[in-house]
Amino acid sequence: MLFGVFPAFSQNDVEAGAKVFRTCKSCHSIGPDAANRTGPHLNDLFGRAAGSIEDFKYSKDMMRAANGGLVWDIEHIDMFIEKPKSLIFKTRMAFRGVKDPVDRANLMAFLRQFSDDPSNIPEAEPTMAAVDPDVHPLILAIEGDKEYGAYLSGECTTCHRVDGEDDGIPSIVGWDVEDFVTALHAYKNGHRLHQVMEMTAKRLSEEEIASLAVYFSEL
């Protein structure tokens, strides 16, 4: 997760992003002659409603997110590029993601050149926060109870593996406590879209989230 701000993009960023885009070209096209391939074309991506390209067959999970109001702004694009399945769990996009936040920012600088008047896209302002919104310091300061977290963890481990392996469902073992709490609150307030995670997080109190964070951080 990237908790900083995006710098103002330069031509160097765009050129670096074009190089990163080479990893996307086998499935996506962009530019004047762009057409749908294995993935939809990426023209006019910024500000576009998810699942809205005609004649392209999206996954059920993508359409569920689209029906929930997902719009491709800079923070959701960043999240999806970092790890597609963290945003759309059963996406058909067989791509592990771009881990380096600088590479992701450069890639988005490149993609923005193919959206209408990208300088006027509000989400592209350099002060736009990246992925998850900040959680209040008082919430982050709550000390979780590891044993209570272990007691609560059963609902999590029906999907997430406790050995840290990622078999299509992201591993949550060994996460930093603050990252874990921030992610759960992002699902809780609807910033992150995933039907099961949203329902689960909304049932959890702040103390329960803190306890789960401590438990999984020490596994």
pLDDT at 50: 93
pLDDT at 192: 77
Tokens of 104: 């992701």
pLDDT at 2: 35
Under CATH, which architecture does the 137-217 domain have? Orthogonal Bundle (1.10)
- How many other CB atoms sit within 10 Å of the CB of residue 178? 14
Please give the model's pTM, rounded to 2 decimal places. Answer: 0.53
pLDDT at 162: 83
71 three-class SS: strand
pLDDT at 112: 87
Instruction: Give CATH 1.10.760.10 domain extents, the chain.
Output: 11-124, 137-217
Under CATH, which architecture does the 11-124 domain have? Orthogonal Bundle (1.10)
Say how far residue 23 (Cα) sits from the centre of its chain: 18
129 three-class SS: strand
- Report residues of the chain scoring pLDDT below 50: 1-9, 123-130
Tokens of 160: 């997430």
Dist CA 18 CA 7 (whole Å): 17
Buried b (16+ CB within 10 A) or exposed e, 97-135: ebeebebbbbbbbbbbebbeebeebebbeeeeebbbeeb
The H or E element spanning position 108 is: helix 101-112
